[in-house]
A and B are shown apart, each in its own frame.
Chain A
């Protein structure tokens, strides 16, 4: 078999449904082999960044790794933003990149770049395959590394001549690597210590992140929270890990978290952190966070996430699902139960905080409030949509107002914060779930960063519903400029905007402009009733609306700016 045939056979063996990509000189033989078969379907994007985001959206909304294929040089450099996005959020991807022929490497050949060098800091691992004999095993390793342990993107760089060289094809069933053995089981002694701390808690709190989603541990988390009766909060990446409509859920925490979640996080005495990493957008200033003494239990598959920003008392390294199952087993077999008296008092306090109604906004406004659009989106879709988002105010409002009861429904770039993520991610999500409603919540600034993917949506008839919260500003930039830069709105006004309705129509889609609050719900209803059409809803929203609560940068978690 030629190298190109081997690659395609490997993808088939992995059960890959879709490859998102864009052809070019270095990958022509690979495309030729893809063309000759129909098991692995290729999705042609309009820019390589879109290919990676689409593969990423596919991976986030399923339990399978996403696969992308791009050519050498600019194909790779265009893909880097997508790869870094996936890396920051630990998304399993296998990215196949073309490379100039082995003998031309290092000679500044046409469309050459040092792919392994450029991508090294933003991949879990990468390979350059110089010998066709190593190709199949390398691809096997790539899938194995990408999807085990703390997941992440893996790049396999394949020189053009390797795709033409021949060797026997053998795809290994299993792979073992002496240098890579991710831990799965948690230490049972540590789990015992964790239970003891939880039972002694007067003001317990459960804080969970993307690890619960990636580890498919939402059912176990739900069971645990209900068994203990403790309050629970999710990070931006963890939404859907615990049902948002449940009373035990305090909403998202962090910079734009709810008052009750942030206050409970700050004032708890025992904190159980699961698959979360105490990042700067979550706990604010760590010094302030430490002012309150508390026992911290931290469950994570990545030891380097533990005690990185916050000193942890009970570290538990392991797969979150396995650890939670063991925790539940130990809890159920022991007689120990939480301190109900203390817990009652704690809930009374939390309900006082919740009573602050920190997400309130002007519902009588004659101008469309962005929060209202998300609320209606939630109602119209019955909370069952897959929601992708771009980055900025609209992302925060979507996170605050769309109540995710299920995991893998909320698809956003949390770590890298990549504007332009939403639309191509929705491409991957819609292909993975052809019958499901998929909404892309975006803004007029973000959507223009990957707007070309409207063409991809047309080609594959993807009925994505774009919810564009158009406030003619880079809203989050404007908000920071208003709060921290004396209202000097440097370069954050979006001038010379296109007519999004006509733009959508020119791509062959349906466009709608919505300018009055009364029209919001009917527009959404109509859009979602069009099962076959991509509908671009351009909502003219309040230009001056801000996201509250807000923990300003460098401030403590309980030092929120409230409405």
Chain B
């Protein structure tokens, strides 16, 4: 099953490689991993999307907790949470496509953030499946380039991950 795990860790050189090294050494999946400092510059927050049986996920959270740089770990999938991913997609926008791409971007609440006479770059946020749906909805041959950040997640309401 797919799980989304949030990790608070010391914002120190090498902390990311401790986490990624753990996943590769123990053969765990990483679907995506995002990391950046938090409002407290000494801490980084990481969101890892992974998959595995309940036993594997239990081991993943335990092993993450064991890393000396890791302050807190929470499996967001255990409760209500929100996740968002950012995608930038460059599409061909000439002739009839130019109008159509604008319309599709609007429908998906995307924003066109760069324009040339031949293409648009569209910024889109949402869950991973919304981004997938967008890519499916437009003409595949019109896609020139895509880049996605991987998911970031946060608990709903008073589910907090902080120290």
- Is A304 a contact of B59 with CB atoms below 8 Å? yes
Assembly CA distance A303 to B67 (angstroms): 12
**A180 close to B (CB within 8 Å):** yes
Q: Mark A125-141, 1 if CB is under 8 A from B, else 0.
A: 10010000000000000
Give the distance in Å from the alpha carbon of A125 to the alpha carbon of B12 in the complex: 13
- Contacts of A105-155 to chain B: CB distance below 8 A: 116-117, 120-121, 124-125, 128, 145
The interface bits of chain B over 1-40 (1 if a CB of A lies within 8 angstroms of the residue's CB, else 0) are: 0000000011001100110010001000000000000000
Are the C-beta atoms of B62 and A304 separated by less than 8 Å?
A: yes
B68 at the interface (CB under 8 A from A): yes
Query: Does A307 count as interface, using CB distance less than 8 angstroms?
Result: yes
For residue A304, which residues in chain B have a CB less than 8 angstroms away from its CB? Answer: 59, 62-63, 65-66
Report the separation of the CA atoms of residues A308 and B10 in the bound assembly, to the nearest whole angstrom.
Answer: 26
CB of A109 to closest CB in B, whole Å: 19
- Minimum CB–CB distance from B48 to chain A (whole Å) comes to 17
Cβ–Cβ < 8 Å partners of B113 in chain A: none
Q: Does chain B have a CB within 8 A of A174?
A: no
Count B interface residues, CB 8 Å. Answer: 20
In this assembly, does B139 line the interface, its C-beta being within 8 Å of a C-beta of chain A?
no
A307 touches B58 (CB 8 A): yes
Query: B63 to chain A: which residues have CB within 8 Å?
Result: 304
Contacts of B66 in A (CB 8 A): 302-304
Complex contact B17–A117 (CB within 8 A): yes
A121 near B21: Cβ-Cβ < 8 Å: yes
Report Cα–Cα, A117/B14, bound state, in Å: 8
Contact status B71-A303, CB under 8 Å: no
Q: Which residues of A contact B17 (CB under 8 A)?
A: 117, 120
Tell me the nearest residue of chain B to A304, going by C-beta: B62
A303 to B65, CA, bound (A): 9
Report B87-121 CB contacts with A as 1/0, cut-off 8 Å: 00000000000000000000000000000000000
Against A, the Cβ 8 Å flags (1 = close, 0 = not) of B59-95 are 1001101101111000000000000000000000000
Contact status B65-A125, CB under 8 Å = no
- Kindly supply a per-residue 1/0 record for chain A positions 307-329, scoring 1 wherever the CB is within 8 Å of any chain B CB and 0 otherwise: 11001000000000000000000
| Contact between A120 and B58, CB atoms less than 8 A apart | no
Q: Does B55 contact A (CB under 8 A)?
A: yes
- Taking a contact as CB atoms under 8 Å apart, the answer to whether B25 and A121 are in contact is yes
8 Å CB contact of B68 from A117, A121, A124, A311: A124
For A125, A304, A311, the residue with the greatest tally of chain B CB atoms inside 10 Å of its CB is: A304
- Given A120-B21, A124-B68, A304-B63, decide whether A179 and B14 contact each other with a Cβ distance below 8 A: no
In the complex, the chain A residue whose C-beta lies closest to that of B15 is A179
> CB distance A120 to B18 under 8 Å?
yes
Is B163 an interface position by the 8 A CB rule?
yes
Cβ-based interface call for A36 (8 A): no
Chain B residues, CB < 8 A from A307? 55, 58
The answer, among A120, A125, A308, for a CB contact under 8 Å with B59, is: A308
Measured between beta carbons, the chain B residues less than 8 angstroms from A120 are 14, 17-18, 21
Which A-chain residue is minimally distant from B8 (CB atoms)? A179
Chain A proximity of B95: nearest CB distance (Å): 50
Q: Which residue of B lies closest to A149 (CB)?
A: B66
Residues of B within 8 A of A180 (CB): 68
Please tell me if the beta carbons of A116 and B58 are within 8 angstroms of each other in the complex: no
Query: A145 CA to B66 CA in the complex, in Å?
Result: 12
Contacts of A145 in B (CB 8 A): 68
A280 to chain B, nearest CB (A): 15
> Which residues does chain B contribute within 8 Å of A308, judged by CB atoms?
59
Specify the main secondary structure of chain A where it touches its partner.
mixed
A302 to B66, CA, bound (A): 8
B9's partner among A116, A179, A311 (CB-CB below 8 A) is A179
- Given the complex, which residues of B lie within 8 Å of A303, measured CB to CB? 62, 65-66
A28 vs B7: C-alpha distance when bound (angstroms): 40
Given contacts A116-B14, A117-B17, A304-B63, contact A125 B68 (CB under 8 A): yes
Least distance between B50 CB and chain A CB atoms (Å): 16
Contacts of B25 in A (CB 8 A): 121
Docked CA distance A311–B13 (Å) = 36
Q: Measured between alpha carbons, how far is A180 from B65 in the docked complex, in Å?
A: 9
Closest residue of B by beta carbon distance from A123: B68
Of chain B, the residue at the smallest CB distance from A181 is B71
Q: How far is the CB of B138 from chain A (nearest CB, A)?
A: 42
Residues from chain A with a CB closer than 8 A to the CB of B62 are 303-304
What residues of chain A lie closer than 8 Å to B55, measured between beta carbons? Answer: 307, 311
Which listed residue, B13, B59, B71, touches A179 by the CB 8 Å rule?
B71
- Cβ B70 vs Cβ A179 within 8 A: yes
Chain A residues with CB under 8 A of B65:
303-304
Closest to A122 in B: B25
Q: Which residues of B contact A179 (CB under 8 A)?
A: 9-10, 68-71
Q: Write out, one digit per residue, whether chain A residues 206-233 have a CB within 8 A of any chain B CB (1) or not (0).
A: 0000000000000000000000000000
Q: Which chain B residue shows the least CB distance to A302? A: B66
Residues from chain B with Cβ under 8 Å of A178 in the complex: 71, 163
A311 contact set on B, CB distance < 8 A: 55
A124 to B67 Cα, complex, angstroms: 8
Q: Mark A170-183, 1 if CB is under 8 A from B, else 0.
A: 00000001111000
- The answer for the CA separation of A145 and B69 in the assembled complex, in Å, is 12
What residues of A have a CB within 8 angstroms of the CB of B70 in the complex?
A: 179
A128 to chain B, nearest CB (A): 7
Q: Which residues of A contact B13 (CB under 8 A)?
A: 128
A116 to B17, CA, bound (A): 10
A-B contact list, 25 entries, CB within 8 Å: A116-B14, A120-B14, A120-B18, A121-B21, A121-B25, A124-B68, A128-B13, A128-B14, A178-B71, A178-B163, A179-B9, A179-B10, A179-B69, A179-B70, A179-B71, A180-B68, A303-B62, A303-B65, A304-B62, A304-B63, A304-B65, A307-B55, A307-B58, A308-B59, A311-B55
Residues of B within 8 A of A (CB): 9-10, 13-14, 17-18, 21, 25, 55, 58-59, 62-63, 65-66, 68-71, 163
New A-B contacts (5) at CB < 8 Å, excluding given A120-B14, A179-B69: A121-B25, A179-B9, A303-B65, A303-B66, A304-B66
- 3 nearest interchain CB pairs? A304-B62, A125-B68, A179-B71
